[in-house]
Amino acid sequence: VQLQASGGGLVQPGGSLRLSCAASERTSGNYDMAWARQAPGKEREIVATLSWIGTITYYADSVKGRFTISRDNTKNTVDLQMNSLKPEDTAVYSCAAAQRGYLRLREITRATRYPYWGDGTQVTVSS
């Protein structure tokens, strides 16, 4: 599967952005999906995941209650709605995928376990 992230930009603290990950094929029923971010000088971290069946989600503590991951099957996209953005959310955001059954549940937060990645999109939160 090929992935392409979009929707990044510059936003003030407290603002919102919606990122979109366009996939080259249907992900529902086929792929576990994730959004990850990497800030300068830091390791890439998984911030949100959505299972292939669509019923299991995970959010990093740092974004819980502010970010929402969702899937749009009509467009073959997986979106990340980001609200109440903070300067510490500034990073390059990328989407990732793993085929159904490839990841164990305990591996969904490990960025290194995802075999498919799209190019990132920059999110900058600053006044």
Q: How far is CA 94 from CA 21, 76, 118, 121, in A?
A: 8, 16, 6, 6
pLDDT digits (tens, 9 = 90+) for 100-118: 999 998 999 999 999 999 9
Token pair of 69 as six digits? 């991951």
pLDDT digits (tens, 9 = 90+) for 49-104: 999 998 889 999 999 999 999 999 899 999 999 999 999 999 999 999 999 999 99
Instruction: Enumerate long-range contacts of 46-53, CB under 8 Å, 24 or more apart.
Output: 46/96, 46/108, 46/109, 46/110, 46/111, 47/80, 47/93, 48/80, 49/108, 49/109, 50/78, 51/108, 52/27, 52/28, 52/100, 53/29
